[in-house]
Amino acid sequence: MVIASRPWILAGLCLAITACTNGEVPPGSPALARPATIKDIMDSMVDPSGDFLFESVVQIADENGIREIAPQTDEEWEEVRHHALVLLEAPNLLVMDGRKVARSGEKAENPDVELQPEEIQAMIDGDRAEALAVVATTDDGAGVFVVPSGSVASTRQPTFDGSFHLAAVRLDDVRVADDREFTGPDVAAGVERARQEAAAGLAAVMVGASQRVLETVLGHVKQRKQFGVPIGSFQAVKHMAVDMFVAIERARALCHFAGLTLAEDDDRRSLAASLAKAAAGDCQRSVGVRGAHAADFIVDGLVP
């Protein structure tokens, strides 16, 4: 098995850049240049380190029987730790403001299944709004007020999923022109409809993420062996996998129901969206807890 070279310099560079960006920048300091693109970071840091960790512990079955290859010496474990550090710190580099997806002229390697870099860049930049639609309560119910983004103070908030952009917006003495005010029963109904669609959409995203976690866990428990048998054959692991499956399918069904009620403008759409949101939350918690417990069987012994 080919072992990747030690990423001492790479990990050190990653940590140094991250430390600089997380600390206070002295007034008058020059802006930090970001020549590396997201593609550069993925190709040089994330993918190699991920492959290294994935291949750190493997089982080989051949005519000589089944044997396991895993780090043994302190030097080998140190290399594993350094690759893990690279993976832990790389996301901090990926989400830095101003980071471009790819260099000019670079194209997707698999255009049939991948977006082109310029399409991805447009999606990332799409949240840089020039105006904000602020929902506020009025005498006629919920109203929408369009204000220039420069007239509000917004602070980016951390999210578990970096693809979701969340900000805390503060409005102080902001005045809105008459032609930028939208109130009335129809507007209030539109706001409520938007809330329902957002709840159902986020619930579907959570279910999809949970499904991916389950697929990853199942893939490991079918291959990983202890005592000469796949750990997926252990009753405790089976029960956790079944609990995850049931939670996902229950939430998936309610997401489908919410989508149908919204598509048909059914009077039950508000209730359906709330049910989907609640079930997706339960699903994600269940998968998070049971998936972690199942992973204990997978990574047990990986770190001495």
Q: Residue 58 is inside which H or E element, if any? A: strand 58-62
Kindly tell me if the per-residue pLDDT of 206 is higher than 50: yes
Q: What is the pTM of this model?
A: 0.56
Q: Which of 215, 232, 235 is nearest to 223 (CA)?
A: 232
Structure tokens at 259: 């989508």
Q: How far apart are the C-alpha atoms of 39 and 118, rounded to whole Å?
A: 12
Kindly tell me if the per-residue pLDDT of 25 is higher than 70: no
Kindly tell me if the per-residue pLDDT of 281 is higher than 80: yes
103-160 pLDDT, tens digit per residue, is 888 888 888 878 888 888 877 766 566 788 889 888 878 889 998 877 888 787 887 7
Q: Which of 6, 11, 16, 4 is nearest to 86 (CA)?
A: 11
Domain ranges of the chain: 1-22+33-126, 127-183, 186-299
Average pLDDT over residues 57-76: 83
* DSSP alpha helix (H) spans, 102-168: 117-125
Kindly tell me if the per-residue pLDDT of 4 is higher than 60: no
CA distances 240 to 104, 209, 236, Å, are 47, 17, 6
DSSP string, 237-283: HHHHHHHHHHHHHHHHHHHHHHHHHHHTT-TTHHHHHHHHHHHHHHH
For 186-299, which CATH superfamily applies? Butyryl-CoA Dehydrogenase, subunit A, domain 3 (1.20.140.10)
pLDDT given for residue 15 in this prediction: 35
CA distances 64 to 60, 67, 77, 224, Å, are 9, 8, 27, 18
In this structure, what DSSP letter does residue 44 have? Answer: I
pLDDT bracket for residue 252 (50, 70, 90): very high
Q: Which of 165, 255, 248, 163 is nearest to 210 (CA)?
A: 248
262-275 pLDDT, tens digit per residue, is 999 999 999 999 99
pLDDT given for residue 29 in this prediction: 54
Structure tokens at 14: 């990653």
Kindly tell me if the per-residue pLDDT of 9 is higher than 70: no
Quick count: other Cβ atoms within 10 Å of Cβ 191?
18
Query: Which range (57-66, 192-201, 265-274) has the least confidence?
Result: 57-66
pLDDT bracket for residue 303 (50, 70, 90): very low
